[in-house]
């Protein structure tokens, strides 16, 4: 992205880095983004270096969403800046890298933090208090962790070389991630690399000599940067680098590889978003995606039930309604579980052991011909006519009455009928009565209550099933969480049961127990049975 979008260029002088080396890379920390720019330098030298390269970072970066997880997977090393803890972390990593036969390049910033006004002042105070000369272009290196890492790897024979990398920015800087996002990216980054073979006899072995050697590297860096930023340096871009020939640059084949990688990840990202978002949306709402449903009953005896009255409760308050209804009629609930499994019709395999929905059927002791169906987990959008037929298929004979109760918000009454919600329920009860349509067929009365025009959003699939099954009476009543506690909610049943066409259809209802329930409920005003 930095090459293709920001047009960033890197120029590298010095020795270069071998991808086959087991190495420690020491680099000055000029900005917070040095490590990111250095990846481009490593790629220019040898793309394999991006595979074997690891960075030693502060532990806070591990908590960055996404990036922190990726860095942990890449086996980066995170330090707490507490030597008691960091010594254990470094030892564990030394044990790991010395036990495997693979190359690695560990990038560490001995300065511990990036160069800025605040850190420069602290570094100068540290140098003065320890009798050292303050540096102009660098911060004083902290050698404890660096020396321990190098000495332990050398002692185990797991280190081939040390690379001293000096980074400099000839034009404007991107001090932080915010600057980079705002577009303040440097046009060029220059690197000078010097390789030290740890197997040379002159290479220091003890920790005291190593610490002195690291300070010597920083003195050389300071002199190199002083010459780099000298006013007398040449301004020609071809010579505006560290002394020496430019060794590496992005070739055409490496640029083509960058384009290929970018296209691959863009396509991968698009496919991930499509399959996890677009397909999931189609699965929930599109009629073009065919589904196959599978059902599993907890009790096969239910399939021989002869139902006279079927009460179907929808919504989040369905279970609460069922408990209140059972307590009112004085019957004990006997639950029967129906698990609904859903998968694509194109997939012949069964959708696993985890159901997409659960439907609870209850029979009442003392009212054997009454069945209550709780669909609290199935939304209106999921419920189709086909699914409704499958759920109610076990009935031997079609019910004489189906009562459907739903907790769809009562505000829809005002929206779809353009009239105020009646405070005492009078107008609504009159609407219930006027909605009954009595027809004569085969000499019998067929009563359908509250067809689809009553309240928009009622489960039309159940209504269609009742009409196709020619159920004698279908009553749709919408309720709120406090329906049984409202004046209108209590009185809503009474005129319905007193209607001449409905009397014989409620023979299975224990009217005395229901009346006792009405009498002991606390009445409150302001809510409608809607």
Name the least confident of 165-179, 197-211, 439-453: 439-453
Which pLDDT does position 475 carry in this prediction? 57
Distance CA 128, CA 140 (A): 11
Q: Structure pTM?
A: 0.51
Residue ranges of alpha helices (H) inside 61-206 are 67-73, 83-99, 117-129, 143-155, 177-181
- Considering only the C-alpha atoms of the chain, give the largest distance between any 2 of them, rounded to a whole number of Å: 115
Per residue in 239-253, pLDDT (tens digit) is: 455 665 556 566 666
Which pLDDT does position 193 carry in this prediction? 92
Taking each helix axis from N to C terminus, what angle separates 252-273 and 34-45, rounded to the nearest 10 degrees?
120
Share of the chain above pLDDT 70, in %: 58
Q: How confident is the model at residue 461 (pLDDT cuts 50, 70, 90)?
A: confident
**Which stretches of 169-308 are assigned E, i.e. beta strand?**
188-197, 291-297
Per residue in 131-173, pLDDT (tens digit) is: 888 888 899 998 899 999 999 999 898 999 999 999 998 877 7
Residue 487 clears pLDDT 60, i.e. is over it: no
Which pLDDT does position 452 carry in this prediction? 33
Residue 4 clears pLDDT 70, i.e. is over it: no
Q: How confident is the model at residue 437 (pLDDT cuts 50, 70, 90)?
A: very low
Residue with the larger pLDDT of the pair 306 and 476: 306
Per residue in 58-74, pLDDT (tens digit) is: 888 888 888 888 888 88
Residue 496 clears pLDDT 70, i.e. is over it: no
Do the beta carbons of residue 82 and residue 112 sit within 8 Å? no
Pairing of strands 437-441, 401-406: unpaired
Residue 218 per-residue DSSP state = H
Residue 425 clears pLDDT 70, i.e. is over it: no
Do the beta carbons of residue 108 and residue 28 sit within 8 Å? no
Residue 44 clears pLDDT 80, i.e. is over it: yes
């Amino acid at each position: 992205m930095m090459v293709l979008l920001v047009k960033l260029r890197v120029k590298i002088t010095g020795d270069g880095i071998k991808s086959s080396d087991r190495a420690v890379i020491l680099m000055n920390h000029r900005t917070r983004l040095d490590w990111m720019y250095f990846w481009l330098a490593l790629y220019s030298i040898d793309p394999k270096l991006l595979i074997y390269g690891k960075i030693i970072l502060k532990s806070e970066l591990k908590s960055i969403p996404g990036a922190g997880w990726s860095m942990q997977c890449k086996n980066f090393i995170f330090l707490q800046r507490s030597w008691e803890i960091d010594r254990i972390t470094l030892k564990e990593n030394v044990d790991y890298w010395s036990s495997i036969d693979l190359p690695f390049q560990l990038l560490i910033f001995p300065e511990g933090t990036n160069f800025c006004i605040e850190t420069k002042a602290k570094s100068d105070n540290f140098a003065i208090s320890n009798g050292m000369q303050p540096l102009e272009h660098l911060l004083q290196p902290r050698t404890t962790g660096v020396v321990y890492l190098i000495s332990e790897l050398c002692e185990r024979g797991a280190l081939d070389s040390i690379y001293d990398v000096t980074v400099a920015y000839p034009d404007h800087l991107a001090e932080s991630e915010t600057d980079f996002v705002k577009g303040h990216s440097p046009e060029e980054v220059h690197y000078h690399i010097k390789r030290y073979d740890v197997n040379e006899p002159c290479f220091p072995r003890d920790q005291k000599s190593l610490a002195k050697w690291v300070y010597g590297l920083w003195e050389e860096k300071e002199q190199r940067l002083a010459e780099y930023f000298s006013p007398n340096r040449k301004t020609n871009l071809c010579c505006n680098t560290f002394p020496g020939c430019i060794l590496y640059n992005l070739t055409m084949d490496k640029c083509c590889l960058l384009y290929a990688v970018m296209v691959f990840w863009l396509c991968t990202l698009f496919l991930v978003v499509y399959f996890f978002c677009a397909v999931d949306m189609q699965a929930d709402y599109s009629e073009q995606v065919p589904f196959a449903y599978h059902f599993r009953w907890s009790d096969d005896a239910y399939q021989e039930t002869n139902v006279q009255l079927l009460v179907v409760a929808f919504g989040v308050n369905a279970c609460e309604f069922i408990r209140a209804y059972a307590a009112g009629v004085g019957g004990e609930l006997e639950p029967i579980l129906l698990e609904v499994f859903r998968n694509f019709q194109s997939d012949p395999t069964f959708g696993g052991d985890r159901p997409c929905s659960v439907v609870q059927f209850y029979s009442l002791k003392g009212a054997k011909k009454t069945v209550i169906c709780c669909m609290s987990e199935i939304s209106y959008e999921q419920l189709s006519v086909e699914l409704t037929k499958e759920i109610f298929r076990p009935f031997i004979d079609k019910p004489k009455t189906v009562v459907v109760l739903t907790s769809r918000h009562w505000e829809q009454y005002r929206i779809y009928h353009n009239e105020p919600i009646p405070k005492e329920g009078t107008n609504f009860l009159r609407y219930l009565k006027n909605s009954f349509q009595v027809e004569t067929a085969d000499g019998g009365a067929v009563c359908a209550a509250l067809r689809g025009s009553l309240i928009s959003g009622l489960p039309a699939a159940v209504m269609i099933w009742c009409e196709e099954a020619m159920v004698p009476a279908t009553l749709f009543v919408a309720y709120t969480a406090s329906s049984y506690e409202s004046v209108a909610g209590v009185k809503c049943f009474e005129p319905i049961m007193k209607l001449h066409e409905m009397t014989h259809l409620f023979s299975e209802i224990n009217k005395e127990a229901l009346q006792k329930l009405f009498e002991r409920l606390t009445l409150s005003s302001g809510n409608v049975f809607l």
